[in-house]
Amino acid sequence: MKIDYNVTGKERKSLVAAISQELNSPIKYLGMPTMAYEVGGYHIDKNGIVAGKDNKELIADLQGLHSFVAVNEEYDEDWAEHKMHLINLESQNIPDYSNRGQYGGDIQQFENLQLTEREELGLGRERHEDFHGENGMRADDILEPESRTFQAELSDPGYPDRMEIFNAYNDEDAIRQAYEFCEGEILLLELFEMDDDYNRIRSVEITPRPDRLTIEIPLDGFTQEKIDNLNKLVSAKAPLLKAALGTDDLMIKQSSDTLMFPWFRGNLDAEHVQAYSALVSFLCKTAIEKNRITAKEKDTKVNPKYAMRCFLLSIGFIGDEYKTARKILLSKLEGNSSRKNGKRTEVADDEFSD
């Protein structure tokens, strides 16, 4: 069944407590990102939708005893057939255990109902009685973390001074949500926790995305002309670089003292990081050393792996020292890295004009 109560916050906690009380089952909070609960085989999502095995008696009790009225009900089983099944069981004097625990579960032995030592000393209750009623599970017994308010400051070319305010349960959850705003050219600059009046009360340290890598190069040696050279070089080889790196974005970002290359994602082990770092380093070195970049995009569709190998060798990936890096940077490309059009061809020393 799938029963929609359309409740959130404290009302949802009360619903979960009522289900726990009726089923005599413990509550399990599933945490982020679902924020759902599980009680006695039933799943209660963040919007108060209860899903699980058909149980009309439970739904009736939630409405009659706890005033929870569903806005929509869907059942898996034809209820008429189920009713006939119950009648057959009753005619044969066979108990129905399909909703075992609804009315208190197994009978408890009296010795199990003794007060604990702490309870005898008046230090507080350590458990609730094992039946539904005023001493059963309450909404306040449910441990759900309180959400807090955060503000993300973003760099968005299409929306200057962009700020996003949202709720999260902790810093880790806030960082995860803040990064969800960062698609394409959008960058996360700063993250703050806010009070109830939306005043910033502290800065949250932003940890790098585990599956993303941004390589930074100092601006030392770069003039505007050399930066233009770099952009032309990357633009000329954009189809190859995008295919080799598995990205759609080759934007180069500039701060007051560095150039940033947020191109890299996926496998970020030591060998991949070393290969990506070498690629950025050689791109920058080539842009600085050349007086002028006039290279135009060439047709690389016939044998992209060969074209990429030629390009890598031309900017400095020469020798066994860069063998692993070349292999990594060629791994996502199709074709034959050593032959062009079926014939082995020597690689030009320099495919860029001075």
- 24-46: average pLDDT: 83
pLDDT at residue 100, as a whole number = 46
Whole-angstrom Cα distance, residue 275 to residue 281? 10
Which value, in Å, is the radius of gyration of the alpha carbons in the chain?
32
- 233-262: average pLDDT: 87
Count CB-CB contacts under 10 A for residue 130. Answer: 16
**Alpha-carbon distances, residue 233 vs 151, 288, 314 (angstroms):** 38, 11, 12
pLDDT at residue 68, as a whole number = 92
Whole-angstrom Cα distance, residue 248 to residue 179? 18
pLDDT for 191 beyond 90: yes
**Alpha-carbon distances, residue 149 vs 26, 120, 202, 228 (angstroms):** 30, 42, 11, 42
Whole-angstrom Cα distance, residue 316 to residue 235? 19
User: Which of the residue ranges 45-59, 190-204, 291-305 would you say has the lowest mean pLDDT?
Assistant: 291-305
User: Structure tokens of 132?
Assistant: 């539904």
Amino acid identity, position 162 = R
Structure confidence at residue 291 as a pLDDT band (50, 70, 90): confident
Threshold 0.85, pTM exceeds = no
Whole-angstrom Cα distance, residue 32 to residue 80? 39
pLDDT for 317 beyond 80: yes
Give percent of the chain above pLDDT 70.
70
How far separated are the first and last CA of the chain, in Å rounded? 72
Q: Are 238 and 249 contacting, i.e. CB atoms less than 8 angstroms apart?
A: no
Which range, 54-58, 99-103, 173-177, 338-342, is most confident? 54-58
Whole-angstrom Cα distance, residue 177 to residue 171? 10
Burial (CB count <10 Å: 0-12, 13-18, 19+), residue 202: exposed
pLDDT for 352 beyond 50: no
- 270-292: average pLDDT: 88
Angle 293-306-239 from CA coordinates, rounded to 5°: 55
- 30-50: average pLDDT: 85
pLDDT at residue 49, as a whole number = 94
Amino acid identity, position 40 = G
pLDDT for 107 beyond 70: no
Name the more confident of 300 and 132.
300
Which range, 8-17, 123-132, 142-151, 319-328, is most confident? 319-328
Whole-angstrom Cα distance, residue 237 to residue 294? 12
**What are the residues facing 28 on neighbouring strands?**
38
Whole-angstrom Cα distance, residue 267 to residue 276? 11
Provide CB contacts within 8 A for 335, sequence distance 6+.
302, 303, 304, 305, 306, 307
Helix %, strand %, coil % of the chain (to 5): 35, 20, 45
Q: Are 317 and 311 contacting, i.e. CB atoms less than 8 angstroms apart?
A: no
Provide CB contacts within 8 A for 172, sequence distance 6+.
none
Whole-angstrom Cα distance, residue 34 to residue 129? 30
pLDDT at residue 15, as a whole number = 92
Mean pLDDT computed over every residue of the chain: 78
Q: How many residues appear in the chain?
A: 354
pLDDT at residue 124, as a whole number = 52
- Identify the CA nearest to 243 among candidates 308, 294, 186: 308
Pairing state between β 148-155 and 187-194: antiparallel
pLDDT at residue 104, as a whole number = 44
Whole-angstrom Cα distance, residue 217 to residue 277? 10
